[in-house]
Amino acid sequence: MDVKLTAWHESTTCTWCEKDREAVTIDFADGFLRHTPLCWSCLQKAIKVRNRQPASAPTTPRSSN
């Protein structure tokens, strides 16, 4: 997963929690989120949510072969 922080804001409205907070603008290389301002806690959530979604790479750690 490739996430870029493209900007830092001392105070801006977070896209997810809609509160005015210190936030960063993030850009997921795979397009999950583009130029989206998120506060630090929502950024961590976004990364967790993204990690839970099926990856495009066909890795199956529980393969019974």
Q: What phi and psi values does residue 50 have, to the nearest 5 degrees?
A: -65, -40
Distance (Å, whole) CA 47 – CA 58: 20
Residue 30 vs 40, nearer CB to Zn ion: 40
Residue 17 vs 47, nearer CB to Zn ion: 17
Residues that bind Zn ion in the complex, under the rule CB under 5 A: 14, 16-17, 39, 42
As measured in angstroms, the least distance from the Cβ of 56 to Zn ion is 27
Residue 19 vs 55, nearer CB to Zn ion: 19
Q: Are 23 and 38 in contact (CB under 8 A)?
A: yes
Distance (Å, whole) CA 64 – CA 20: 48
As measured in angstroms, the least distance from the Cβ of 39 to Zn ion is 4
